[in-house]
Amino acid sequence: MKAAVLRALDQPLKLEDVKIPVPGPEEVLIQVMACGMDAADMMILSGFGYVPKLPHVLGHETAGIITAVGDQVTDFNPGDRVAVYNYFYCGKCVYCRVHREQLCIHMSGILGILERPGGHAEYTVALAHQLVRVPENVAWHDAAVCCDAGITAFHAVDRGGVRLGETVLVIGIGGVGSMVTQICKASGTRVIVAVLDEERGRRALEMGADHILYSRHVNVPEAVRELTAGLGADCVIDVVGVEETFTYGMDTLRRGGRLVLIGYTPERYPLKGEQLDQNELNIIGTRGGRLSDLNGIVRLVAEGRIKSVVTDLFPLEEANEALAFLRSGRALGRVVLLTPSGRKAMGR
Ligand SMILES: [Zn+2]
């Protein structure tokens, strides 16, 4: 099979012929149709964050069709359409038992990120208990991005305890921000989106945002207070997570408000204890999502309640071109690679 292989950090991926993997007793073999590519892939390529053993195959937004199942697999069959939950969770530890699989302490890998080769290939392998069924009406590229952009957004909105009638400030409108905006709207909240430029402002409006703030030109906390009778936002969901956004995100919260941090950098954030305590603010971390969050976002997409956040498709064979496009900063939404089978299935 063809795979885009990472042989050395900071070097182009190599399109190689490699052996089709063989699934273990509890695993399935998946013919990949579509797999996203995002900032996490760029981070891994440059050696920041997760450091996989090389050679490695990236790809942590994978959707496809099961072609073989291990002896002990009973819930899935060849021909099933699936999206892959990235965490190879144990199913038995204290976190798995309460269905917080992304916090599993005996994880044996993360698809396309650590230990396990991902979906930038024609086939990949996952444990059967990592799979979520994908209805026929969901396009392959949309199913793929549920596995990271979608699940991350769904879980973050849940972590933020976002409720009907509240006002949420979303900072950043790439793939994840687009998903967060739509999920908040589907939850009956008013959504204000902070963006850098007009192109992204238009994008946020397309995703259903009620108000756009250009963070280079306005004082975001003041502007949000003007829109909320002087109170501030009930919840801020910071998809960017740099010092500047953290600071204005905190300053935007109303008393008792919640700040959910999705994005982050290696730096520490400046935290004012007085501001935190006197206003009873909450800072909430979020990691990917639970298996149930992946089910949730696939369901919302299948019901037609979430518009596609995929803006650019590339053939698997042009993985390096897709990377260059991502690095250029021109991607307004999610970038997805299609395998030859995926292109055929989608008539492209
Ligand atoms: Zn576990």
How far apart are the C-alpha atoms of 207 and 178, rounded to whole Å? 6
Give distance in angstroms: CA of 89 to centre of ligand 1: 5
Ligand 1: centre distance to CA 126 (Å): 16
- Please name which of 295, 301, 297 lies closest in space to residue 138, comparing C-alpha atoms: 301
| CA–centroid distance, residue 102 to ligand 1 (Å) | 8
Centre of ligand 1 from the C-alpha of residue 87, in Å? 10
The Cα–Cα gap between 293 and 290 comes to 5
Query: What is the model's pLDDT at position 52?
Result: 86
pLDDT digits (tens, 9 = 90+) for 253-299: 999 999 999 988 888 999 999 999 999 999 999 999 999 999 999 99
Query: CA-to-CA distance for 69 and 235, rounded, in angstroms?
Result: 43
Residue whose tokens read 């359409």: 81
Predicted local distance difference test score (pLDDT) of residue 111: 98
pLDDT for 21 equals 96
Q: Per-residue confidence of the chain (348 residues) as pLDDT tens digits?
A: 999 999 999 999 999 999 999 999 999 999 999 999 999 999 999 888 888 899 999 999 999 999 999 999 999 999 999 999 999 999 999 999 999 999 999 999 999 999 999 999 999 999 999 999 999 999 999 999 999 999 999 999 999 999 999 999 999 999 999 999 999 999 999 999 999 999 999 999 999 999 999 999 999 999 999 999 999 999 999 999 999 999 999 999 999 999 999 988 888 999 999 999 999 999 999 999 999 999 999 999 999 999 999 999 999 999 999 999 999 988 989 999 999 999 999 988
46 Cα: distance to centroid of ligand 1 (angstroms): 29
How far does the centroid of ligand 1 lie from the alpha carbon of residue 216, in Å? 43
Write the pLDDT tens digit of every residue in 46-63.
888 888 899 999 999 999
Centroid of ligand 1 to alpha carbon of 296 (angstroms): 21
Contact 194, 176 (CB under 8 A): no
**Rounded distance from Cα 144 to ligand 1 centre (Å):** 24
User: What separation in Å is there between the alpha carbon of 133 and the centre of ligand 1?
Assistant: 22
Percentages (nearest 5) of helix, strand, coil residues in the chain? 30, 25, 40
Cα 339 to Cα 18, 33, 345: the distances in Å are: 15, 5, 10
Q: Is 325 exposed, middle or buried (0-12, 13-18, 19+ CB in 10 A)?
A: middle
Separation of 135 CA from ligand 1 center, angstroms?
Answer: 28
Q: How far is the CA of 115 from the centre of ligand 1 (A)?
A: 16
27 CA from centroid of ligand 1 (Å): 17
CATH number 3.20.20.80 is the correct assignment for the domain at 2-139+308-345:
no
Report the separation in Å between the CA atom of 98 and the middle of ligand 1, taken as the mean of its atom positions. 10
To the question of pTM greater than 0.95 for the whole model, the response is: yes
Give the distance (Å) from ligand 1 centre to CA of residue 73.
19
Q: How confident is the model at residue 243, as a pLDDT?
A: 96
Q: From the CA of 290, how far away is ligand 1's center (Å)? A: 12
CA of 86 to the centre of ligand 1 (A): 13
Provide the pLDDT for residue 266.
82
Find tokens 């900072």 and name the residue: 171
| Secondary structure E strands in 158-228 | 167-171, 190-195, 211-214
Ligand 1 midpoint to CA 88 (Å): 9
Q: Which long-range contacts does 212-215 make (Cβ < 8 Å, 24+ apart)?
A: 215/171, 215/245, 215/248
Select the CATH number that applies to the domain covering 152-285 from these four: 3.90.1200.10, 3.40.50.720, 1.20.1250.20, 1.20.1050.10: 3.40.50.720
311 vs 142: CA distance, rounded Å: 10
> Can you tell me the distance from the alpha carbon of 221 to that of 215, in angstroms, rounded to the nearest whole number?
10
Which pair of tokens denotes residue 241?
Answer: 């997570």
For CATH 3.40.50.720, list the domain ranges present in the chain. 152-285
Q: What distance in angstroms lies between residue 95's CA and the mean position of ligand 1's atoms?
A: 6
DSSP string of 41-71, one letter each residue: HHHHHTT-S--PPSSEE---SEEEEEEEE-T
Q: Where in the chain is the domain with CATH 3.90.180.10?
A: 2-139+308-345
User: Could you tell me the distance, in angstroms and rounded to a whole number, from the CA of residue 139 to the centre of ligand 1?
Assistant: 31
